[in-house]
Amino acid sequence: MSQIITPDDFDFRAYMVESEPQVKVLPAEAWRESLIEHIRSGDRLTGATLPWAKTHDHIRFRPGEVTLWQGINGHGKSELLGQVTLGFAAQDEPSCTASFEMKPQNTLRRWLRQTAMNDAPGERAVHRMFDWSRGRLWLYDQVGTVRPEMVYAVMRYCAEKLKIKHMIIDSLMKCVRGEDDYNGQKDFVDMLCSLSKDLNLHTHLVHHAKKKESEDVKPGKFDAKGSGSIVDQVDQMMTVWRNKKKERQLLLAERMEEGAAKQAKLEELAEQPDTLLICDKNRNGEWEGQIALWRHAPSLQFTGDRRREPLDMIGALV
């Protein structure tokens, strides 16, 4: 079953201490295999993929890097990242989710709907998810603020002892003293970047976007709350934007009288995505752009086209 890590059950004191300097001083030959792998892969994209096939030639998630996941409150960034996490697990890349804004039980309920592909999963779906998740999914149980040194210790423990490949931290503002603590934000993100490289771990950091004049305006790389150094330091930046204008227009269209005009409007709106996943920074890849997604509400899944057919996150992606 999915393992839950708590401060009470694990002694993280040893992992709060910096590694000895000699551990980081290695002969050049230590990088032999990684250099050979680089030559073999050439310009081919490497790293874990997103669940949607149409993204595979554009964006990947490699060891040793940090991705910032930005979004306006209520636009679904944590929900989408939860589905992405299941996709990593299906690629045999284990993850640990540290959500300081949501209890593990709530994360598990969301995963259950996403793996069951419906909004009323039964006990069989519960057993199916937990049996599959063994060794693939971990959760760090702490809600509220957390000290940066504890995040450091948990990351080291997960990478060194549990062989975790992806660390999800939700969110940045629970790890620093406040939105105006620019130095704290800079130092925390710098720590994540350094530690991810040392541990060969990919870290996913959830962050909030600034309030704009309207939620209909898509946030960009300069709209992350707090210090500008946050975006400067990370390797990739993904923005999750919910098409609320479409939602409003859909409500109006559904109130129209039956007829050709209503059908034409509904068809026009159906072509528009429910959500955009926007890549505003891709340090180790050339592609930047946006990915259209449609949400399947019963499963809490995001799908690649207007048909909204949920993915079998456990079966089809294995």
Is pTM beyond 0.75? Reply is yes
Least confidently predicted of 37-41, 227-231, 259-263 = 37-41
Q: Write out pLDDT tens, residues 82-125.
A: 999 999 999 999 999 999 999 999 999 999 999 999 999 999 99
pLDDT at position 214:
92
pLDDT at position 173:
93
pLDDT at position 313:
94
pLDDT at 2 over 70: no
Q: Write out pLDDT tens, residues 40-80.
A: 766 678 899 999 999 999 999 999 999 999 999 999 999 99
**Residue ranges covered by each domain of the chain:** 3-13+47-303
> Whole-angstrom Cα distance, residue 69 to residue 86?
16
pLDDT at 23 over 70: no
Share of the chain above pLDDT 90, in %: 79
pLDDT at position 21:
45
Q: Write out pLDDT tens, residues 162-221.
A: 999 999 999 999 999 878 899 999 999 999 999 999 999 999 999 999 888 899 999 999
CA-CA-CA-CA torsion sign (110, 114, 115, 118): positive
pLDDT at 20 over 90: no
Strand partners, 68: 205, 237
**CATH tag for 3-13+47-303 (out of 3.30.70.1560, 2.40.40.20, 3.40.50.300, 2.40.50.100):** 3.40.50.300
> What is the rounded average pLDDT of the residues 114-138?
96
pLDDT at position 26:
72
pLDDT at position 91:
96
Packing angle, helices 260-271 and 244-254, rounded to 10? 160
Q: Write out pLDDT tens, residues 247-297.
A: 999 999 999 999 999 999 999 999 999 999 999 999 988 899 999 999 999
Packing angle, helices 148-161 and 182-199, rounded to 10? 10
In the numeric block, the tokens 């996709």 are attached to 87
Helix or strand holding residue 125 (H, E):
helix 123-133
> Whole-angstrom Cα distance, residue 36 to residue 42?
10
pLDDT at position 74:
94
Residues 6+ apart with CB under 8 A from 60: 45, 46, 47, 48, 49, 285
| Average pLDDT for the chain | 92
